[in-house]
């Protein structure tokens, strides 16, 4: 979701597909999650997603956007807190604050 005027871009990243699944599943590290059949394929795919996420964020920030990212699990746990974070950022940028 974007707020074009204040230049705020909001992303909801699925935990599994964007590299947070290992935390939710109780593994010690990202690498530990991949101890199954076809592990290398999934490790590479999710690593590419994480790299792309960082690049998208970097490019948007270079163009003056504020980028907010939330894990899907954050939204499931406390939608109000995530919505409040977005609202505060949009209001601050609308007022001309950095």
Percent over 90 (pLDDT), the chain: 72
Closest CA to 30 of 15, 12, 13: 15
**Residue 47 predicted with pLDDT over 80:** yes
| Residue 96 confidence class, pLDDT cut points 50, 70, 90 | low
Per-residue pLDDT reduced to its tens digit, 3-20: 999 999 999 999 989 999
- Residue pLDDT, tens place only, 34-45: 887 788 999 999
Contact (CB, 8 A) for 1 and 10: yes
Res 97 pLDDT > 70: no
Cβ(2)–Cβ(8) below 8 Å: yes
pTM for the structure as a whole:
0.85
The two three-digit tokens of residue 78, written as one number? 């406390």
Name the percent of the chain lying above pLDDT 70: 97
Please say whether the beta carbons of 52 and 19 come within 8 A: no
Q: Residue 34 in 3-state DSSP?
A: coil
Dihedral of alpha carbons 90, 20, 39, 29, sign: positive
pLDDT in tens, 73-95: 999 999 999 999 999 999 999 98
Are 60 and 67 in contact by the 8 Å Cβ rule? The answer is yes
């Amino acid at each position: 979701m974007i707020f074009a005027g204040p230049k705020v871009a909001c992303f909801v990243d699925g935990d599994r597909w964007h590299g947070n699944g290992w935390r939710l599943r109780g593994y010690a590290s990202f690498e530990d999650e991949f101890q199954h059949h076809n592990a290398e394929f999934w490790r590479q795919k999710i690593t590419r997603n994480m790299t792309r996420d960082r690049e998208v964020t970097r490019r948007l920030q270079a163009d003056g956007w504020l980028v907010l990212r939330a894990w899907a699990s954050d939204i499931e746990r406390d939608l109000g807190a995530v919505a409040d974070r977005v609202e505060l950022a949009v209001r601050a940028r609308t007022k001309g604050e950095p």
